[in-house]
Chains A and B, each alone.
Chain A
């Protein structure tokens, strides 16, 4: 009698994405199982200046936040634009995926994704220069994320010399 209609109960904002942590200790199946039960979210595209207070304020709107770990540049030990948000309940995390993912914090559209769970070491950027990988290669100028990407900024001084 209580038929669950698949076509109706779409909840696609809560689905896991294609991203898999390459440093995860375990196989794909294990990782996916953890992602599907997780209470922890990865949050990306933060400004380097976004504080824990701001993250706490916005993510508390979907549930009680247990812990926030701000992502750090491995070398400088300063915020490098991502963080982890762990909720006390799965529902809190799901509602964040539904209603906070894709909205703005500090004027930037932030992106949330399921995380298999925080482990010591995962709070550091994995880019060669110490920040996030995406900041190594990006070509655009983003004042809230250290300006030009690392590769692009290496080319910049040469250009300036040429124009002279």
Chain B
């Protein structure tokens, strides 16, 4: 942690300095030490001072008033021109680097600061460990009046672009801590402004929902420009869950890649579910008609059959692995594929496709030719609710028969060659 600090030092001087200014202004209102403050601000503007000195001074002055404060300030002012980062603040302890001392010293005072500006508490260990000077200063900045902070927004944005990646991550960590504590508290307005001000360096991080591993709550980050009351946050979480599941369904349902929008997707999903249900019904009908002439031998069945491995594809792919193993069934599969291809492309009701497939299969199979007419009637009379009236059927069926038969020959030739 201390290793990273010197890198931060040149970059964040200005920002912390500005924050210090704002913070001290705020504190000046509270403690009304005007002359003292003017002196300090004069000092601020004059030199590029060690940040930690001011910070310490500011913190100490924030913590309590009185003589001890003044004496501390005297010490820090004397230390200002000293480039060495040896901190000699006895009551705050000795640390190697300026920032380190700041961080260390900021630990306890950070808590107090935290207590001043927050309603909930942040564990001091976490604060000392994770929060660097910059994060600390940001918190203090958020406690300051928003107008003054917004004036510095431009400068801060410029500076923050120079900031290293890990720094922004640290900020994010500190923001997340803030976020956890704040999401349950009433200080939601502060979140908004704080986020707007940090948009320069964490804008890309803001674009996703961050969930911290706290057992009680799901913590959501409010995005820039969005409302932050608990209702809209919960609503947003719900909406994102729904869209996540819609994306998953989009992968599941074939042919949904081009469709955008929830309504269209839902329509596709509904159609697909309906088609699957109709396929089940049709297959059970087929089993009802075909099975009687067979005796069931389960051992034979398991020896013969080979289930296709893919689960989500439409009929065609399912048939492919079967083809290799069952050469007597070779006739069926090209028809199957042709029919399903035709069926899908036809754009007719899905119910027609499955029934078409049945008829194709029965027509081409040498064994079950007598069933063709039989199935014609049963398909119409049986599950009537989903099958359309027979009159338009016949015409379409004739066309499909021709297509199927002409294609069958080509397909079977191709498959044989494979």
Question: Do the two chains bind?
Answer: no
Q: Which residues of A contact B (CB under 8 A)?
A: none
